[in-house]
Every structure is written in C-alpha cells, then in structure tokens.
Amino acid sequence: DLLAEVQEKPKCCFFKFSSKIQHNKVVKAQLWIYLRPVKTPTTVFVQILRLIKPMKDGTRYTGIRSLKLDMNPGTGIWQSIDVKTVLQNWLKQPESNLGIEIKALDENGHDLAVTFPEPGEEGL
C-alpha cells in the first residue's frame, strides 16, 4: 500500500561529522550492521537507503547498496557495507546528510537489522 508507505516514518540512522573530519580525504568507509539470528535457513535482502529531501513524485530515498545473503540458524552475523562514496558526498555537501535507512528483510518480511535494541534484546 503506497499510502501507508508514504505515511510511515522511516527508521533511520543519522551520522553527524565534526568540522575536522570534513576536510579529510576519505580512503575507506564501511558501515557494519548486525543481523539478528534466524531459526531456519533463510535468504536476507539487505538494503541501505540514503534519505533525501522529498521529490515531486514523493520519493524520499535513493539506494546505496543492496545485497542478498543466505543465513543459517545460529548466532547473528555482522555484515559490512562499503559507504565510501556516500561519505565523500556528505562531506562535500553536509546539508545533503539526512541519514540512512537500513533494512534487512528475511523471506517473511521480518527486519533482522539491529538499529535499536528491542525490549529484552541486549545492545551491541
């Protein structure tokens, strides 16, 4: 339902950088995300989306990275994502930094990415 999608506030992570960092050359930048454990083997679709000012058609984000992972039961896993280009753009144009949205949906649509610990879940 498109209407519900537009009205739903995205769960986003916002990164603030000091003025000292803004003048540095970015050689490497990786975002590490933790994926909750699964009970059965599943395929997970990870999406990292950059939030932007809403466009005329209602678009509020652009894709940064997408990947497909196969997860087996057991402990959760850490996954790294290359965000060098995003960081370079943010440092050149700080006003464009509206944050990112992280999604890691399993085959049933459950989000496995831990951005904020849920009740009873330890923080990382």
pLDDT tens column, 44-65: 999 998 888 888 887 888 888 8
The predicted-structure confidence for 70-118, as pLDDT tens digits, reads as follows 999 988 899 999 999 988 888 888 888 888 888 999 999 999 998 777 7
> How many separate domains does the chain show?
1
Query: Is 36 part of a structural domain of the chain?
Result: yes
Query: Is 124 part of a structural domain of the chain?
Result: no
At 1, the pLDDT band (50, 70, 90 cuts) reads very low
Residue 41, domain extent: 28-112
Query: Is 21 part of a structural domain of the chain?
Result: no
Let me know: does 40 contact 8? Beta carbons within 8 Å: no
Query: Is 90 part of a structural domain of the chain?
Result: yes
Which runs of consecutive H residues, i.e. helices, occur in 8-50?
A: 19-22
Q: What span, in angstroms and rounded, lies between the C-alpha atoms of 32 and 99? A: 15
Query: Is 52 part of a structural domain of the chain?
Result: yes
Q: What is the pTM of this model?
A: 0.75
Query: Is 80 part of a structural domain of the chain?
Result: yes
For residue 2, pLDDT beyond 50? no
Q: What span, in angstroms and rounded, lies between the C-alpha atoms of 67 and 79? A: 10
Instruction: Say what the pLDDT of residue 122 is.
Output: 63
The domain that holds 108 is classified in CATH as 2.60.40
At 42, the pLDDT band (50, 70, 90 cuts) reads very high
